[in-house]
Amino acid sequence: MEIFKYKKPLNLMAQSKRFGLVSLTLLIISLGLIMTKGFNYGLDFAGGTLVQVHYKEKAPIQKVRDAISKVKEYESASVTYFGNDNEIIIRTKKSSKSLDKDMGDSMRELLKGTGDFEVRRVDIVGAKVGSELREKGLMAMLLSILGILIYVSFRFEWRFAIASVMALLHDVTIAMGAVVLFGIEVNLDTLAALLTILGYSLNDTIIVFDRIREGINTIKEPDLSKIIDESVTQTLSRTTLTSLTTFFVVLTLFLFGGEIIKGFSFTLLVGVVVGTYSSIFVASPILMLLGFSVSDYRLKAAEKAKREKEKEKMRAMYENGTI
């Protein structure tokens, strides 16, 4: 089976302004959402207590609310269904420090009489740990971006590095925007998803850039936009196919992986789509914007090759005993 067969390169770069506009709009909306609505920090980063209760029958959510609101501390607690009707989650912003009797234990006692239930999960995160985790998370993001920047500069050229990092910032920002828009709780696993998007989006961009790098040397064409068009077209089928397979598995994770992993897989789903889009329509135009010059690159490459040749010649001469 073959879906992608192009006799002629697609005319993508000519359209780059249009894509730029789309991206810019999405970016502005995302940033706006992040700044106005803000992240819905979950337990991991905000601290608090989460108790998951499983009932043998449909969970009596109103009874639960009544039972726990008897204690003043839990007045602001939220009670919601989790995944199905038998499962509920009770959340509060408060956390307890005492080891021998914690909020989970006291909730268990309060819930007595609401039905046949089992407490299946109690998570307590102190405020201090929460802020520590947040700092670490931010640090991890910055460090990965830095590491990637260095690696791509080393393997390609600095403009490629900047373009790829800008593309991945684009992806992460839009994914964050989606997280805010849909009110997904931001926890450690959301952070893991964002870091995965970082790696994934870059993966896609690198494949395209690799082709462009190759194209610069093989395609007899001085115009970067033409080289990009041809390279992107050549990799289009790969980019789409891989995105599809990854999208499939993430989708199964989202649909069947259980409630607990929903935030993670949703973030990834957005990331896969945006990452694919950006590697085709965003990264390469940035490369052009940054003023990458094909002739300069070729000149440098030629010089480098020349130097190598000189060296080899010298070595050959040396070995032959002429020097």
Partner 1 sequence: MKTLNYRVILFIFALIFGVVFSIPSLTQSEEGKKITLGLDLQGGLHMLLGIKSEVAIESRIKSMAATVKYIFDDEDIIFDELRMVDGEKITFELLDNDDVKKATELLKKELEGITLSQNGLKFSIEMTTEEMVRTKQNAISQAVDTIRTRLDSFGLAEPTVAKQGEDKILVEVPGIKTQADEQRIRELIARAAHLQLMAVDEDRIARISTMSVAEAKSFGDVILEDVNTPEKYLLRAIPVLDGSMLTDAKVGFDKNNQPVINFTLNGQGAKIFGDFTGKYVGKRMAVVLDNKVYSAPVINERIGGGRVQISGNFKLSEAHDLAIALRSGALLAPVYVMEKRSVGPSLGADNIKASMLALSLGFVLVVFFMILYYGMAGLVADIALIGNLFLILAIMSLFGATLTLPGMAGIVLTVGMAVDANVIINERIRELLHEGKSIGKAIEDGYNKAFTAILDANVTTLIAAVVLWAYGTGPLKGFALTMGIGILASMLTAIVGTHGIYQWLLPKIDKNKLGFWFGIKKEGKK
Q: How far is the CB of 313 from partner 1 (least distance, A)?
A: 26
Q: How far is the CB of 259 from partner 1 (least distance, A)?
A: 8
Residues 117-176 that bind partner 1 (CB under 8 A): 118-126, 128-129, 133, 136-137, 139-140, 143-144, 147-148, 151-152, 155
CA nearest 156: which of 201, 215, 200?
215
* 108 contacts 119 by C-beta, under 8 angstroms: yes
202 binds partner 1 (CB under 8 A): yes
Q: How far is the CB of 216 from partner 1 (least distance, A)?
A: 14
211 binds partner 1 (CB under 8 A): yes
**x/- map, 77-96, partner 1, by CB under 8 A:** ------------------xx
Q: How far is the CB of 203 from partner 1 (least distance, A)?
A: 4
Which residues on neighbouring strands pair with residue 119, listed in sequence order?
Answer: 53
Nearer CB in complex with partner 1: 72/97: 97
Which residues on neighbouring strands pair with residue 185, listed in sequence order?
Answer: 40
54 binds partner 1 (CB under 8 A): yes
Q: How far is the CB of 136 from partner 1 (least distance, A)?
A: 5
Residues 226-285 that bind partner 1 (CB under 8 A): 234-235, 237-238, 241-242, 244-250, 252-253, 255-258, 260-261, 264-265, 268
Indicate which single residue of 99, 291, 319, 322 sits in contact with partner 1 (rule: CB under 8 A).
Answer: 99
3-state secondary structure of 37: coil
Nearer CB in complex with partner 1: 15/80: 80
Nearer CB in complex with partner 1: 62/131: 131
DSSP-assigned states of every residue in 244-308 = HHHHHHHHHHHHHS-GGGHHHHHHHHHHHHHHHHHHHHTHHHHHHHTT--HHHHHHHHHHHHHHH
Q: How far is the CB of 35 from partner 1 (least distance, A)?
A: 25
Nearer CB in complex with partner 1: 138/314: 138
32 binds partner 1 (CB under 8 A): no
Sign of the C-alpha dihedral computed for residues 247, 251, 252 and 254 taken in this order: positive
189 binds partner 1 (CB under 8 A): yes
Indicate which single residue of 9, 42, 48, 104 sits in contact with partner 1 (rule: CB under 8 A).
Answer: 104
Q: How far is the CB of 12 from partner 1 (least distance, A)?
A: 18
Using CA atoms, how far apart are residues 32 and 36, in angstroms rounded to an integer? 6
* 61 contacts 88 by C-beta, under 8 angstroms: yes
Contacts of 119 (CB under 8 A, 6+ apart): 51, 52, 53, 54, 104, 107, 108, 111
Indicate which single residue of 61, 195, 219, 289 sits in contact with partner 1 (rule: CB under 8 A).
Answer: 195
3-state secondary structure of 112: coil
Using CA atoms, how far apart are residues 201 and 271, in angstroms rounded to an integer? 8
100 binds partner 1 (CB under 8 A): yes
DSSP-assigned states of every residue in 150-219 = HHHHHHS-HHHHHHHHHHHHHHHHHHHHHHHHTT-EE-HHHHHHHHHHHHHHHHHHHHHHHHHHHHHHHS
Question: How many chain residues bind partner 1 (CB under 8 A)?
Answer: 79
